[in-house]
Amino acid sequence: MGKTAAGAAISYFVNKALGRLSAEDEDLHKQLTEKLPIIVAVFDVGNQPQVWENQALAPWMWQFRDALQEAEDALDELEYLDLEKQAKDRRAREVEGWKVRLSSRLPDFSGGFRRSLSAVATGGTSKRLKDALKGLDSVLDNAGNFLSVIMNIRSSSSDIQDLGNTRETTRELTTTAVFGRQEEKGELLEWLGVHTPVDTVDHKLLVCAIVGGGGMGKTTLAQFICQDKMVQDHFGNQIVWVHVSKRLEPKSLVRRILESINRNNACSEALDSLQSYLTKQLVTKRFLLVLDDAWEDMDEGKWEQFLGPLRNNAVMGGRILLTTRMRSVAEAVKHQMRVGVKCLELKALDQEDTLKLFNHHAFGNSTPSDRLELRLIGEQIARKLKGCPFVAKVVGQQLRDSTDHSRWNAILNQDIYQFDEIGPTITEMLKMSYQNLTYEVQLCFRYCSIFPPGFKFKMEELIEMWVGSGLILQRENGIKNQEDIARDHFNILVRKTFFSLVPRELHADPSEDYYVMHDLMHELARSVSIEECSRFKDDDHSAETHGISPPGVRHLCIQSITPEIVTIISQSKNLRTLIIENEASSIQQELVSDLKKSIKGRTSLRLLKLHGQGWFGMNDVVAELKHLRYIYMSATDEPNLCKLFKLCHLQVLRIIKIDKEDKVIPIDIGNLPSLQKLDIPKRALSAIPHIGKLTSLRELNGFSVRKKDGHNITELQNLGKLQRIIVFDVQNVSNCNEADAAKLDNKMDMKVLSLRWSHGQGGIDDHILNKRVPHRNLKHLTISRYNGIKPPMWIQIRHLSNLVRLELDGCVDWDKLPPLGSLGALEHVVLAHLPKLKYIGNSSHGSNAYGYRENWTEGNVPGKLPPHLNISHMEHIEISNAELLRSLPSKMHDLYALRSLLLHNTHVLQSLPRMPPNLWVLVINGCCTELFERYQIGGSDWGEINWISNCDISKDA
């Protein structure tokens, strides 16, 4: 999606708002219709970082944004009233029979009264929209001057559009020393074939991309390779270095390569002639072409023009080495080369190399004994730099001429990005990455600054917050819903290296993907969102801490509630997002009362998240926030949720705990036509009848089947958009017809399905379970506490070919499972409390019976693992509550893909087999004393596990 798509979305919104004007407002309608192209132009060009950094332009742009937001809020309120009226009309139809019976006896005065109230409400909101559009029209009177200034800036400074062209690089090392990267260098030398005999070198054209964030040392590594004597001997004078930068122009690039080869200017202007000449120069020789700092990932046709002749004609073992900040560039090149592209992702330097690099720039050639106290402080500073070479260089250089201990301690104890000599230098280097994003992706990236550095993001949680906060503009064509668009934006940020995937072995749930933003990227997000987004920690007491203007902030996250924070919230009139983390165990009720006053009647708030305890009496105030799309509350003391269920725009409702949950009264859900995700405690959810009316529902965490009208399994029949559901009390499904009526097989968007029985309340036969066939697109399946004697047939017949996670818990009568290898996409398996389980599949399936990327979790297993267990491709094994388990498979060493092994409550386990060579994590909690002593440091078997990076063995569970 480009900027034109965002402009089209703004155009759609303005036209929709204009359509709400009455006939008497024809002049205003005409004026704004004529100015619509100007609105789109301002929206597109005005969202460049240079505008917001310009003290003359930024204030006007804020006026423009405020005017648009006011119009959006007014239109949103009108649409709320429309939905409210539809809900009232529906209820009126439901009681129509009752009204007919009374109409013959009593005169009806209520209808006219209701219409009068509705007209008053709609009329007031229509006036608000009219006034907002007048305000927008007034702001646009100065749009011509604004656009003229922007055009002048563009024409007078070409580096605004292409900052990359001012930082051209060469093959010569620009640093006197290189620290670290020996492993990466060795990997590249092997790929180049410099150690390989000439007659065995791969003569195909090969491509490798060095990928990493800004400042991670990509160019330095490529220069390091070019200066290696073995590389120079191998390629001779056919090492060509070209700095690509932001604009990939095939003709210019080919000409520069030819000039580098021939040391003179290429005279031809025709691309065809240049390509032909380049082909003749390179295809008969072994060459190394380095393309440094490539950015083009949108127009693959340009890569086709440039790489096509080389791809089709190179025969002598040519190599192309590409450096880029973005995985998406490597993917674009891969598509055009039609061969595999090796991708070498640069990680952070280790602590030792970071310290060496920092010391090199901070102390120069002084001996280690010189300035010893400063060196000790420097060691602590280096730990803060998170392995980024560029940051280590900048900070080291700033300290080089300083012997002032207070200066060194200030950088140690404070945020280094707040120093004027450091922060701007680092963020300026990173801004090219940010400027390469479209408007809406920039907005989503800026939003991430409200989270703390190092925060682990779940993709689905983040995108529902982007949507809930109003970051994703509505499209007229409606081909993709807002969550799909947000998901595309997230994937763009991943491919462009703004987010990195956390290795699964480094977090608690290896079946869940988490993403993290490098501290550098977080600082970039903070610097470009400073007047729009803000986060307050416990030690922040005023808005000036972050230099923001309270009325301008849109998205606010605070760690704990204080009187100063309440004041800031009160002053922030345009607030769209409010997150209060409140990790304290309790809150002063006076502060809660003040907070309620500060948010009461807000006409812009879209997302509200209240973590922690003590949010007493909030429901009344929250229920008045008509624009809310997203509500999250850790706890509420009010069992009456009816008020919250009148918020017609609400899309996400999550309440983790409800005091007096058993007192929740039946709730009318007719006012929630937009609700997509409902996550409230099980007993509260069971009080909601006729859940099938929520036809927009995508996520339902806790539907309880009951044998009464409005609560049976057939309520799922019309929920065709469901993506995730947990179904409790499945034993209450009465018969096969009911099970079949749920139409699980028709729900093609369903990704997560959990079926949970309750013991002691009667069973359900295998025929009914077999009727609950989910769609083959299902990715996560849980079956819990099922009383049948065998798994459903649709697992055994390989129906779920896309299943990624399978969890079977408490199915106490199952003694065998089908071969898990039949589920070809399976990555993670949880088997818990299956005391009779003896077999998985059968030996006829051989080595292919258990898939390729499985994880394994097993609890309450018998004395040994199933004899036909063949898990050679699993990445994670977790065994819990295996009180009878005495040994692990003797050939566990052959599990080359295994990264983590976790054993919990295995008190009779006597010994460990030889561990797999790639194991990263070994955790044993609740083992016997003998095993504990043998595998401790100095124990008889310590040498068997001391090479494992993360090892923790304890007798206590």
- The lowest-confidence range among 101-115, 416-430, 592-606, 787-801 is 101-115
Residue 934 CB-density burial (10 A; 0-12 exposed, 13-18 middle, 19+ buried) = middle
Q: Distance between CA atoms of 20 and 44, rounded to whole angstroms?
A: 25
In this structure, the dihedral spanned by the alpha carbons of residues 100, 106, 110 and 112, taken in order and rounded to 10 degrees, is 90
CATH number of 530-673: 3.80.10
Half-sphere exposure of 467 (CA within 13 A, CB side): 28
Strand order in the sheet with 288-294: 239-245, 288-294, 319-324, 206-211, 341-345
Facing residues of 658 across strands? 636
The CATH number corresponding to 163-345 among 3.40.50.2300, 3.40.50.10490, 3.40.50.300, 3.40.630.10 equals: 3.40.50.300
Taking the C-alpha atoms of residue 184 and residue 192, their distance in angstroms, rounded to an integer, is 12
Q: pLDDT grade, residue 195 (50/70/90)? A: confident
**Interhelix angle for 3-18 vs 58-94, to 10°?**
60
Q: Over 50: is that where the pLDDT of 74 sits?
A: yes
Give the type of residue at 304: E
pLDDT computed for residue 873 by the predictor: 54
Partners of 830 in beta bridges: 807, 857
Alpha helices (runs of H) in 58-156, residue ranges in sequence order: 58-94, 96-103, 110-139, 143-156
pLDDT of residue 92: 74
The order of strands in the sheet holding 500-501 is: 456-457, 515-516, 500-501
CA-closest candidate to residue 630, choices 657, 606, 660, 647: 606
Distance of CA 694 to the CA centre of its chain: 27
497-532 residue pLDDT tens: 899 888 776 666 666 789 999 888 999 999 888 888
Q: Read off the pLDDT band of 95 (50, 70, 90).
A: low
Residue 354 scores a pLDDT above 60: yes
Residue 465 has pLDDT above 70, yes or no: yes
Q: Are 827 and 853 spatial neighbours (Cβ–Cβ below 8 Å)?
A: yes
For residues 553 and 575, the answer to whether their CB atoms sit within 8 Å is yes
In 10 A of CB 323, how many CB atoms?
Answer: 27
Q: Which helix (H) or strand (E) holds 489?
A: helix 482-495
Mean pLDDT of the chain: 81
Residue 85, exposed/middle/buried by CB under 10 A (0-12, 13-18, 19+)?
A: middle
Task: State the pLDDT confidence band at 608, using cuts at 50, 70 and 90.
Answer: very high
Mean pLDDT for 918-922 is 89
Q: How confident is the model at residue 210 (pLDDT cuts 50, 70, 90)?
A: very high
The confidence band for 263, taking pLDDT boundaries of 50, 70 and 90, is: low
What is the per-residue pLDDT for 568? 87
- Looking at residue 854, its pLDDT comes to 46
Reported residue count of the chain is 957
Q: For residue 38, which of 7, 74, 71 has the smallest C-alpha distance?
A: 7
Which range among 265-269, 853-857, 922-926 has the greatest average pLDDT?
922-926
Q: Is the pLDDT of residue 852 over 60?
A: no
Which residues, 6 or more positions from 757, have their beta carbon under 8 angstroms from its beta carbon?
729, 730, 731, 764, 784, 785, 786, 787
pLDDT band, residue 838 (cuts 50/70/90): low
User: Which pLDDT score is estimated for 547?
Assistant: 41
- For residues 177 and 360, the answer to whether their CB atoms sit within 8 Å is yes
DSSP secondary structure code for residue 812 in this structure: T
**Closest listed residue to residue 781, CA positions, set 789, 790, 772:** 772
Please write down the HEC assignment for all residues of 402-443: CCCHHHHHHHHHCCHHHCCCCHHHHHHHHHHHHHCCCHHHHH
Distance CA 291, CA 287 (A): 13
Q: What is the pTM of this model?
A: 0.84
Q: Which residues contact 288 (CB under 8 A, 6 or more apart)?
A: 192, 226, 231, 235, 238, 239, 240, 318, 319, 320, 321
Give the residue-averaged pLDDT of 923-929: 90
In angstroms, the CA 52 to CA 434 distance is 14
Q: What is the mean pLDDT of residues 383-388?
A: 90
Q: 860 pLDDT exceeds 90?
A: no
Alpha carbon distance 849, 859 (integer Å):
21
Higher pLDDT, 475 or 189: 189
Average pLDDT score over residue span 422-436: 85
Indicate if the pLDDT at residue 842 is higher than 60. Answer: no
Distance CA 337, CA 312 (A): 9
- pLDDT, position 905: 81
Q: How far apart are the first and last CA of the chain?
A: 51
Between CA 938 and CA 935 the distance in angstroms is 8
**Would you state the pLDDT for residue 629?**
96
The pLDDT tens digits for 699-709 are 999 899 988 88
**At 533, which amino acid appears?**
C
Cβ atoms within 10 Å of 779's Cβ, excluding its own: 17
Q: What's residue 845's pLDDT?
A: 38
Within 8 A by CB and 6+ apart from 23, the residues are none
Residue holding tokens 């105030």?
Answer: 621
CATH of segment(s) 437-471+481-520: 1.10.10
Cα 12 versus chain centre, distance: 28
Top mean pLDDT of 314-323, 398-407, 755-764 is at 398-407
Residue 764 has pLDDT above 50, yes or no: yes
Highest mean pLDDT among 40-44, 693-697, 768-772: 693-697
Q: What does the pLDDT look like over 633-690, one tens digit per residue?
A: 998 888 778 888 889 999 999 999 888 777 777 777 777 889 999 999 888 888 888 9
Instruction: Decide if pLDDT at 466 tops 90.
Output: yes
Q: Which two tokens stand for residue 68?
A: 């648009």
pLDDT higher than 50, residue 739: yes
Helix ranges restricted to H, 157-270: 182-192, 218-226, 229-235, 250-262
Q: Please name which of 355, 344, 516, 526 lies closest in space to residue 447, comparing C-alpha atoms.
A: 526
The pLDDT value given to residue 846: 38
Say which residue the tokens 């880029």 belong to: 324
Tens digits of residue pLDDT in 814-827: 877 777 666 767 77
Instruction: Give the pairing type, strands 876-880 and 839-840.
Output: unpaired
674, amino acid identity:
S
User: What gap in Å lies between CA 706 and CA 111, rounded to an integer?
Assistant: 37
Tens-digit pLDDT profile for residues 130-172: 888 888 888 888 888 888 877 776 655 444 444 444 568 888 8
pLDDT exceeding 90 applies to what percent of the chain? 24
pLDDT at residue 114, rounded to an integer: 42
Over residues 373-395, mean pLDDT: 91
User: Which stretch of 196-210, 464-478, 922-936 has the lowest confidence by average pLDDT?
Assistant: 196-210
More confident of the two residues 725 and 51: 725
Share of the chain above pLDDT 70, in %: 83
Q: Examine the pLDDT at 10 and tell me if it is beyond 50.
A: yes
